[in-house]
Structure 1
Amino acid sequence: MKAFINLLVQRGLVVNLISVFLLAIGIYATISINREAFPDVNMDQIMVSTVYPGASPKEVELLVITPIEQELRSLDGIDKMISMSFPGSGRITLEVDPDAKNRSQITNDISLAVSRAKLPSELPFDPIVTEIEGSIIPIIRLAISAPISDLKLKRLSNDIKDDLLTIKGVAKITILGDRKAEIRIEVDPEKLNREHVSIIDIQNAVRGWNINAPGGDITTEDGQKVVRIAGELYSAEDAGNLVLRTNASGDTLRVKDVANVVESLSIPRMTYDVGGKPGISMLVLKKSDADIINTVDRIHDYINNISQKYGEDVTISSFQDFSKFTRMRLGVLTSNGKVGLILVFISLILFLRFSVAMMATIGLPIIFMSGLFMLYMSGITLNLISMMGFIMVLGMLVDDAILIGENITYHMEKGMAPKVAAVHGAMELMGPVTASILTTIAAFVPMMFMSGIIGKFVIAIPIVVIMMLALSWLESFFLLPSHVAHFTNPNKHPKERAWLIALDTVYSKVLTIALKFRWITVGLSVAVLVFALSLAKTMPFQLFPPAGVDEFMVRVTADPGTSLKAMRNQLRVIDKALRQNLTAEHVQATLITAGEIAMDLGDPLTQRGSRYGQIRAIYTPAVSRPDHNVMDEMYAAEHIITAQFPELEIAFTAIQPGPPLGRALEAEINSDSEEKSNTAARRLIAFLNDVKGVTSIDSGLKRGDDEIHVVMDRELATYAGVDLATASSIVRAASGGLVVSYIHKGSEEVDITIRYPESDKGGLDILKSIQIPNRRDGLVPLSRVAHFEVKEGFTTIRHKDAIKIINVTADIDSDKITSKALNTLVQENQNEWLGDLTDKVNVNYGGEEEKNNESARSLALAFM
């Protein structure tokens, strides 16, 4: 080691060239490294989603979710399985063991298991298996509006989507408010009865004539020809002209004679508004290797020129620009670097000679640029987390240089030749400085072994800190000695400074006393340590505090039976009232969703149905409003809004920055009886209501919409020649629409759907008057062979590992209580609030506290 340091000291020009080279590759890395808001984190989640139009949550559970769960339970490599059954759809989220080998094989095994499940033939398509990709990251939201019809706006949004996908760096576009185009055959019940025509007749006509199929090959005089059977429909007009019946006299009955046939959009299950106005919202996601700032800049360039392509009436507004977070953190890093460099130099020049101060300061950009290059080569992006690591380590980088540089000049002042002093001074401190750096590195190493989503999220911090400390060590021992030796004049001694001499005198006296009474000094040090540890136990622990909250959500639940249209109108009224109570210049947008409540894909209390809705208030980044607190404004707005709309169930929830941790409290209750589980959930809710600081208590106890059960009399139906399968198809058309075929328009698939008029849909009278074709070519009113029962419906049905559970969740006011304190309080008093159900129900706890504990345990084990 000594020989190598001596070689570098003797070759000053080589060292200078190395320094310039390190600065150059650092500049290259600065230009080339990808910047993004958050790191690329594998979520270890696979989702199975399915659609079963018109089915109740109970039917989705029994006929779709449970069969799939039974096939999935036997698979290896799955830690947790959470399923939700909604009206008309279902979802299973699988958490994969992060230590499992051959991840792609697990995904294939899941797909095969799903394909083995015996599912209803009425499903419009097979369940979709999707791996949640952390590499495809949201970067910006766009809202599209234009004074045109919904169908034209949908086609326009598709064109804009295609344009955006051609932009370099854009990976995917998710459209909210996108509805599938359909050719809608809206039947007239009176005309159907008058003409003695059933929906089955229309269905058979569409399916029988919408055909474009190969017919084989034949040989003609001109050679071999390919035969095709061409009858495919191309428009609503073609569908309306289909013949249902004709006779010898030429009388023809067409579909358009008993129905209104139009090209339209499908009836939505959810609606989306931006700022209280209808429109289409797009979420743009970038590729894993794309730079967020450059990609967003290209998107803004496209938006600024949109009118040239689509006209002045088309407007696109952008909000929730995630590149702003990256730009601001880069600004902090750059400004901290500049200010830090100046402050370091000023601090050094106060205590050290000018040459040492200058060489130590010059080492800072060399280390920093080398670190950027190493980061670039290792594949880590410049994101909010890795930049935090740079900011944390910035002040530590000159410590080694100060010690070694000062020691070298000390030996010069004692008469050593500069080059000899450089080698001797560096080698003399090799052990102490190396030990000092290793102890600092040892403090950060355990962070690399944190497990769970938090561990994956913050791993860039220890990597950056350790890498920069290692580079600091290398620069201090291999570059700095040469710089000091060649740029320090040993014959020029710095003037003595009176204030420094006085400080040295005071320090010497204090040190003498401390050494004289060394046991008292050690005792006081231990006492301070014990006192600090005792204080640490009482300090509230919150891994991701709410200080940087930029978004909150308003959950709204109306009475059962509320239509989607009524819910949308109600949400618009609430949104208007909400925006009046928010600081307008700090709010980027409010997003309204009618038909669903969901914070994210992992929200345990996701609700779907026409009586549910939510409003997301999205603010500008926190650093742009230093004197404004979202939490304070949210609590004030919650008090006003809940009082203004007492007939609705309204809850406000802050959306925390950082990795998805879940709610402050998430309790999962199960037992051998649904009644016991429900009772336990109610008791927990009552307990939480008495805890100060607990907010937004929610549960899975919500009642679903009423269900009309059509119960056919088998004997009467058989006598009348009516079968259940035919009746089921016609009832589905009357209540939710029946997709009977489809056509292609370019790359777009357009369904052909038979529906009853919207004003009549779902009415009990229209159900009773439905005519069912029998085997004798007659029509039988449904009311003659069936009776109707109105029953209370189910809301979302949840399973964990194929066991039915009831969720109870709550948020907190972090100024009054922490998630750890709340979970401890609930668990310590569990026997009290469960009462006589203590041994009859099981309660498991998850959410934020579970993930915090998982990461804290792994961190503690790593320290040990």
Structure 2
Amino acid sequence: MGKLIRFFLDNTHLNHILLVFLIISGVYAYIKIPKELFPDMALNKIVISGSYPGASANNLDKMAVRDIEDDVSAVSGVGKIESVITPGRFSVIITLDEDAHEIDVLNRVKDAIANIGRNLPADMNMPVARSLVKMRYFIKLSVSSEKLDFDELLEQAKDIRSRLLKVAHISQVDIYGDSDKKVEIKLDALALRAYHLNPSDVISVIKNLSYTFPIGDIDDEKQFVFVSTVNGKETVEEWENSLLKIGDRSIYLKDIATVSIHHPHDRTMASFNGQKSITLSVYKDMEGDLIVMANEMYDRIDHFNKLYEKVDIAIFQDGSKPVKNRLNIIISSLTLGLILIFFTMYYLINRNIAIVVSIGIPFAFIIGLLFIYFMGYSLNLISLVGALLVVGLAVDDAVIVSENIQRHIDEGMDAYEAAFTGTKEVFLPILLATATTMAAFLPMFMMTGEMGLFIKLIPVVVIMVLLGSLVESFLFLPLHAKEILKRESPSLDWSWMTNRYEKILHKLLHYKKTTLIVFFVGVPLLTFAVLKMLSFQFFPTFDTDKIYITGKLKINTRLQQSYDIAHKIELDILKRKKELSVKTVSTLSGKRKSLGQDWETASNMFYLTIELEDRTEQNFVEKYINPVLNLSFDFNDPRKVRSLSSFEIADRLRSLIEPYRSRYDFMEFAVMERKIGMIKTDIELNLIGTDSQKIEKAVKKIEARLHENPYVNEIVDNIRYGKMEYKIRINGYGEELGLTEGYVASILSGYFLGGRKAMTFDDDGVVEITTEFKEKDRLSRLLNFDVPLGDGRFVALNDVAEFIIMQDYEKIEKDNGYIVKTVSANVDKTRTTSGQVFDGLKETLDTIGNSGIDIKIGGEKEKNQQLKDDMIQAVVVAMFLMLILLLLIFPKIKYALMILSVIPASIVGALIGHLLMGMNIGMTSIIGMLGLAGVVINDGIIMLDFLHGTHDTKSFYRRAKQRLRPIVITTVTTFIGLSTLMFFATGQAKIMQPLSISLGFGLLWGTIINLLYLPTLYAFVNRISPEKKSEVDIQNFAKAAEV
């Protein structure tokens, strides 16, 4: 290493050129690296989807889903299988094992589906398996017009969608409020009866009115010719004048049906800020830079508004906005931390060392950024918080090297040799100290599932920046130190502090047994006492810029009715727009996200998204310092007008929509606030058993218990009965007439099973031809149906068949093949936690569990258990890694164990920090405590490395005092580096606030331990006895005697 250090000291120009190259590369990497709010947290998944119109959920489960689950579960690499079955459609979501090869598993799943296909109904489409494409929400566009009718507006919206899909990194554009163009033929049952026509025969003839397939080709000697049809008719008049030949009768279509060509509202309807519109929801791939794409999108929409003169296109719910805001705040906090560290070193050490260290820190981060860029990671809230956490740690290496070089310069060595010797001397200790910090963060890679994907950027950034700090401290910093550091630079006089420290040590050594007993008994008791005063909350709550209202009406509500109700709520919110600080309101009917955070599609649903104005600054750092550091100098941003928190606005919205609850028949109706993706609901209980009635009673019992808690809200279950089902059984009289179940079903399906019968084309592409009977949706039509017997006679259906009336569940949800009934709820985390709610449920759950019902706990508690299991592994691995590294420094295991004993003792500092800051312990708190282990033992290594080998009191005091300054400085700089996140976190950055509290306050307490407990323990183990008076007292006495 000495040769490398000298090489970079000798080659000054190379050193400077490399630094310039690093700066340019860092700027390039920052521009090119994708920027987003959160890292990718989605596990690899495969989705199997299938449909069979008219089939109930129960029948679909029997005919398709069960076989799919059984065959797929045997495929290697398949982890969890979740199924959702609704009338007419189903989806099976397969979560793969983390080490599974996605393409291989997908191919084997497709093979399994092919094997099942032979058992499916002949007219059912084969289920389709596909990999779940990872993409991110980008932006929404509202397309509206006062000059165009709906069909014209829709065509314009589809053209805009086509243009957007050609843009780089845009992966998907969903249209809400649209529908496919259809030729809709509505048959008149009375007319068919009058003409003695069988509906099956009529529909069969209609199917042949359009033929879209090629007929063939002719390779004539003179020319090559393709042969095809005109693909049906073009206008309503042409369709209605189609002459149908049915048996021996010819009849015009208009005599038995009406025809329309239009875009029916049969899927979704949308509005924006009270105006009916078509909404385009745009998604991006995982590579695109959200901020760059947003800037380009605004320019593109300006162009579109000029291109489509009769259409108004507006951007809302811009996904890049929170990313820009959070990145600006974190980067400003990072810059502020560096500035504070500079002034701290300027005061605690001297100006020149402060300059040398401050020059080096940015280069350490640039090196770290380059590592992250080339490893394919993004720049997001988590990676930047990781950088904020490590800023203080990155300073430590530079401070130690600079101080050692300054010491040699002060002792008379020339600057060149001082830079070389001072750097070489501390290389091994710094390398090992940095390695122990890395060892504490490395086991975080062992965390599994979505949680592991969420948190892994923390160790990545910490380790990469620490590696950058090592490179900078040993290759570039020596040259800076040679050029900047001077002999006898004025610095702070630490003698008063070292003398006071020696007196304290003298007292502790005098009562070292008592001190250690108090410590070994008091610290665990204090830890336990503080722990009892805190609760566990997986993630802290944070203010957000969006609130949602989800609604689900009674099962037979039509799409237009759902839209009308949602639109009224939208207009009511817009009337209080200023009071509630509402920026935009968008409404979607026909689709919604449930309280369980699952997307559902049905006519009886709606979903409102309320986008809030920017919130006013919450502290002086946001108001006065960040505008300077991000160079905006905007101290009174006019866009920041919201004074209420999103929680307060959500409460007001709940009061606003309450009258609607009694006015309409809602199955589910609630205000929802944003959650982190990995936790869908705070409380989730999944019940599995064979007795459905017993399970239903158990669900009601749990819900009743939850309702007793005033801080629990949004309590829902998936026990919802769907549409009534009339099963037809042919009776004896019907069988005597020759009627069979198949024949009657084919006749009835012609009337009641509407849908696509054929296809045609127009200028824009494929158009469906659908048939439906005018009176299809009247139950009386079924009950009084006349069945043709084939000889011209008819017989009443209720004479030849009996009706078995059933009502099945609206939706069937399954987990690994078992039907699951779920109770979910959310809690007011400002007043209670999920753990406290579960404590109140324990007796009820025990009773239910003893009755033969299996209870699987999900939600936050499930993640808590996963976190506990992962952390036990991580802690064990981290401790062994650090023990191995410590044994490289201290061959005797007793010294390694002495340093390791600092780790559990420092935890109480992290807990006290949470108590002082009024925060619960969370997932990131525990991650911070794991990282704390690697940080706090660095000071322990510094202390014990100097004490090692001392056996007399004078040497003991002298060496302990020599370590006071570096330990205090590294602690202060690290704490200051974390201070902006600890004390001034806002928005989503609050997720990482507990992590910084664990590190910051834990390090403060750990410093006290390293300065007092560790020397006392060393003295006890090595039998170092104190003098009657400390060295300082003796010196003071001698001075007084001279006077």
TM-score with structure 2 length normalisation?
A: 0.75
- The amino acid that maps onto 1:660 is M
- Distance in 2 separating the partners of 1:773 and 1:247: 15
**Matched residue SS, 1:230:** coil
**Matched residue SS, 2:378:** coil
User: Structure 1 residue 186: deviation in Å?
Assistant: 1.6
1:818 aligns with one of 823, 833, 849: 833
Contact 2:406/2:486 (8 A) holds in 1: no
1:285 aligns with one of 274, 279, 283: 283
User: Structure 1 residue 290: deviation in Å?
Assistant: 1.4
Q: How far does the alpha carbon of each residue in 1:123-158 deviate from its partner, in whole angstroms, 9 at most, with x for none? A: 563323232233x21111222222434333332221
User: Structure 1 residue 310: deviation in Å?
Assistant: 1.6
Does 1:230 find its partner at 2:229? Answer: yes
- Distance in 1 separating the partners of 2:274 and 2:806: 35
Aligned to 1:855: 867
- Distance in 2 separating the partners of 1:302 and 1:537: 57
**C-alpha spacing 1:772/1:143, structure 2 compared with 1 (3 Å):** farther
Contact 1:692/1:816 (8 A) holds in 2: no
**C-alpha spacing 1:176/1:4, structure 2 compared with 1 (3 Å):** same
1:254 aligns with one of 248, 252, 255: 252
User: Structure 1 residue 163: deviation in Å?
Assistant: 0.9
- Distance in 1 separating the partners of 2:390 and 2:159: 47
Aligned to 1:687: 705
**C-alpha spacing 1:497/1:352, structure 2 compared with 1 (3 Å):** closer
User: Structure 1 residue 517: deviation in Å?
Assistant: 5.0
User: Structure 1 residue 412: deviation in Å?
Assistant: 0.8
Alignment of 1:537-552 (within 5 A): 538-552=533-547
1:398 aligns with one of 395, 418, 422: 395
Does 1:143 find its partner at 2:142? Answer: yes
Q: How far does the alpha carbon of each residue in 1:491-520 deviate from its partner, in whole angstroms, 9 at most, with x for none? A: xx334667x665565555555555655556
Aligned to 1:475: 472
**C-alpha spacing 1:496/1:257, structure 2 compared with 1 (3 Å):** closer
User: Structure 1 residue 184: deviation in Å?
Assistant: 0.4
Instruction: Indicate the larger mover: 771-780 or 188-197.
Output: 771-780
Aligned to 1:13: 13
Contact 1:548/1:657 (8 A) holds in 2: no
- The amino acid that maps onto 1:112 is D
Contact 1:86/1:608 (8 A) holds in 2: no
Aligned to 2:771: 754
**Matched residue SS, 1:792:** strand
User: Structure 1 residue 463: deviation in Å?
Assistant: 0.2
Contact 2:538/2:860 (8 A) holds in 1: no
Aligned to 1:844: 856
1:364 aligns with one of 361, 381, 390: 361
**Matched residue SS, 1:82:** strand
Aligned to 1:108: 107
Aligned to 1:798: 813
- The amino acid that maps onto 1:97 is D
Contact 1:167/1:299 (8 A) holds in 2: no
Aligned to 1:664: 682
User: Structure 1 residue 295: deviation in Å?
Assistant: 1.2
Aligned to 2:530: 535
Does 1:176 find its partner at 2:180? Answer: no
Aligned to 2:648: 632
Alignment of 1:681-720 (within 5 A): 681-713=699-731, 715-716=733-734, 719=737
Q: Which runs of 5+ in 1 are unaligned?
A: none
- The amino acid that maps onto 2:59 is E
Aligned to 2:893: none
Contact 1:54/1:732 (8 A) holds in 2: no
Q: How far does the alpha carbon of each residue in 1:33-73 deviate from its partner, in whole angstroms, 9 at most, with x for none? A: 22223323442222222222233222332333233223323
Percent identical pairs in the alignment equals 24
What do you get for the CA RMSD once the two structures are aligned? 3.2
2:761 aligns with one of 741, 744, 748: 744
Contact 1:591/1:616 (8 A) holds in 2: yes
**Matched residue SS, 1:479:** helix
Q: How far does the alpha carbon of each residue in 1:589-623 deviate from its partner, in whole angstroms, 9 at most, with x for none? A: 444444455349x847x665444444343445778
Q: How far does the alpha carbon of each residue in 1:73-93 deviate from its partner, in whole angstroms, 9 at most, with x for none? A: 332322222212212221222
Contact 1:182/1:265 (8 A) holds in 2: yes
**Matched residue SS, 1:484:** helix
Contact 1:37/1:325 (8 A) holds in 2: yes
Contact 1:48/1:91 (8 A) holds in 2: yes
**C-alpha spacing 1:116/1:715, structure 2 compared with 1 (3 Å):** farther
Q: Which runs of 5+ in 2 are unaligned?
A: 618-639, 877-1043
- Distance in 2 separating the partners of 1:219 and 1:619: 66
User: Structure 1 residue 117: deviation in Å?
Assistant: 2.2
User: Structure 1 residue 470: deviation in Å?
Assistant: 1.5
User: Structure 1 residue 465: deviation in Å?
Assistant: 0.8
Instruction: Indicate the larger mover: 847-856 or 800-809.
Output: 847-856
**C-alpha spacing 1:117/1:477, structure 2 compared with 1 (3 Å):** same
User: Structure 1 residue 361: deviation in Å?
Assistant: 0.8
- Distance in 2 separating the partners of 1:712 and 1:621: 66
**Matched residue SS, 1:75:** coil
Instruction: Indicate the larger mover: 11-20 or 77-86.
Output: 11-20
**Matched residue SS, 1:705:** strand
**Matched residue SS, 2:809:** coil
Instruction: Indicate the larger mover: 42-51 or 725-734.
Output: 725-734
- The amino acid that maps onto 1:687 is R
- Distance in 2 separating the partners of 1:179 and 1:259: 23
**Matched residue SS, 2:38:** coil
**C-alpha spacing 1:330/1:640, structure 2 compared with 1 (3 Å):** closer
**Matched residue SS, 1:289:** coil
Aligned length: 847
Q: How far does the alpha carbon of each residue in 1:643-678 deviate from its partner, in whole angstroms, 9 at most, with x for none? A: 552253554354444333221121111222111211
Aligned to 1:410: 407
Aligned to 1:448: 445
- Distance in 2 separating the partners of 1:557 and 1:687: 24
**Matched residue SS, 2:413:** coil
Does 1:675 find its partner at 2:670? Answer: no
**C-alpha spacing 1:503/1:91, structure 2 compared with 1 (3 Å):** same
1:438 aligns with one of 435, 438, 441: 435
Q: How far does the alpha carbon of each residue in 1:710-763 deviate from its partner, in whole angstroms, 9 at most, with x for none? A: 5444743773x7665565455445445231111233563321001133xx4411
- Distance in 2 separating the partners of 1:478 and 1:645: 69
Instruction: Indicate the larger mover: 773-782 or 479-488.
Output: 773-782
- The amino acid that maps onto 2:720 is K
**Matched residue SS, 2:108:** helix
**C-alpha spacing 1:335/1:142, structure 2 compared with 1 (3 Å):** same
Does 1:58 find its partner at 2:58? Answer: yes
Instruction: Indicate the larger mover: 326-335 or 781-790.
Output: 781-790
- The amino acid that maps onto 1:142 is L
- Distance in 2 separating the partners of 1:533 and 1:195: 88
- Distance in 2 separating the partners of 1:535 and 1:301: 55
User: Structure 1 residue 578: deviation in Å?
Assistant: 4.8
- The amino acid that maps onto 1:293 is I
- The amino acid that maps onto 1:630 is S
Does 1:421 find its partner at 2:437? Answer: no
- Distance in 2 separating the partners of 1:83 and 1:468: 43
Q: How far does the alpha carbon of each residue in 1:451-475 deviate from its partner, in whole angstroms, 9 at most, with x for none? A: 1101112211110011101211221
Q: How far does the alpha carbon of each residue in 1:778-818 deviate from its partner, in whole angstroms, 9 at most, with x for none? A: 66665564455554343212222222221111111112322
Contact 1:34/1:290 (8 A) holds in 2: yes
Aligned to 1:763: 778
**Matched residue SS, 1:84:** strand
Aligned to 2:608: 615
Aligned to 2:558: 563
User: Structure 1 residue 528: deviation in Å?
Assistant: 4.2
Contact 2:83/2:92 (8 A) holds in 1: yes
Instruction: Indicate the larger mover: 167-176 or 786-795.
Output: 786-795
**C-alpha spacing 1:49/1:586, structure 2 compared with 1 (3 Å):** farther
Query: Which has the larger share of helix?
Result: 2
- Distance in 1 separating the partners of 2:359 and 2:413: 24
